[in-house]
Amino acid sequence: MSDPSQKSRTQFNKLQKRLRHYVGDAIADYNMIEDGDKVMVCLSGGKDSFTLLDILINLQKTAPVRFELVAVNLDQKQPGFPEYVLPEYLEALGVPYHIIEKDTYSVVKRVIPEGKTTCGLCSRLRRGTLYGYAEANGVTKIALGHHRDDILETFFLNIFYGGKLKAMPPKLLSDDKKNIVIRPLAYCREKDIQRFAAFRDFPLIPCNLCGSQENLQRQAMKVMLRNWDKQFPGRLETLFTSLKNIEPSQLADTRLFDFSGLKQQPQNTEGQFIVSDTGLAVLAR
């Protein structure tokens, strides 16, 4: 019989190699990280951001460019938030980090009616705070832990509820043009990240400390994609590939393609045989 621990190590090594490969490809494809960058990894305490930090630390050692990493967490003063978890983990890891303390929890609770989802406002307040920290501390890239499934979920949310063909781009310039957001996990599958986080035994912190449930519409998209993945293996890969292969002339957005300006193009028939009125084939001059 094979050694279970050896088998487990082999599985972990394959998984880690695959995730590193996907992250490396995404960084290269979108020029996410350049020489001299200071990359702020937004660490929430969830599996995605822990995985992102772990992989970037390893890639930093072998990357063809030199870049800094700093892990940043926003302590939103949610009741029950274990303040000691992330500092202890990051100090043991030897990674530069900063904890921003800002009571956005009270703001959200004051503004959002009881029983309503608070995730939208919470996300906006969190983003604004992190952007401000990045500008004040020389950060050139802000790394978020969104993965391929997050991008596809957002794509279908926008189709079904927003009437837009829109998702999360792997690289984004903020509206004020002051911050560049990158998503190095854009090519990674959520199920791979879940397995990786279990292997690494990250000290995960739940996101529902505020009592708000995840957006039900997004949950529905998650279930839909999970079912498709089981019933039609490879469908999610094809869907994501389609986001990278857009043909504006085959859609209907007049802002992206000049449909009104389409004109017939006269064909040059010189040198070709054509059928005359008499039914004889003659050479066009």
Say what the pTM is: 0.85
Lowest mean pLDDT among 33-37, 171-175, 276-280: 276-280
**Over residues 65-81, mean pLDDT:** 88
- Give me the residue spans of the domains in the chain: 16-247
State what percent of residues in the chain have pLDDT above 90: 67
Contact 151, 190 (CB under 8 A): no
> Which tops the pLDDT comparison, 268 or 62?
62
* Pairing state between β 38-42 and 141-143: parallel
Distance of alpha carbon 41 from alpha carbon 56, whole angstroms:
9
* pLDDT higher than threshold 90 for residue 18: yes
Q: What's the longest Cα–Cα distance across the chain?
A: 93
- In this predicted model, what pLDDT tens digit does every residue of 153-201 receive, in sequence order? 999 999 999 999 999 999 999 988 999 999 999 999 999 999 999 999 9
* pLDDT higher than threshold 50 for residue 54: yes
CATH superfamily of 16-247: HUPs (3.40.50.620)
If we measure between CA atoms, which residue out of 106, 134, 135 comes closest to residue 122?
106
* pLDDT higher than threshold 60 for residue 100: yes
DSSP one-letter string for 133-184: HHHHTT--EEE----HHHHHHHHHHIIIII-------SEEE-TTSS-EEE-T
* pLDDT higher than threshold 80 for residue 259: yes
213, amino acid identity: Q
Contact 110, 120 (CB under 8 A): no
Please count the helices (runs of H) and the strands (runs of E) in the chain. 9, 8
HSE-CB at 177 with a 13 A cutoff on CA atoms is 0
DSSP 8-class letter at 257 = S
Lowest mean pLDDT among 13-27, 46-60, 109-123: 109-123
Average model confidence (pLDDT) across the chain = 87
**Over residues 20-26, mean pLDDT:** 97
Q: Which residues, 6+ apart, have CB-to-CB distance to 68 below 8 Å?
A: 37, 38, 39, 96
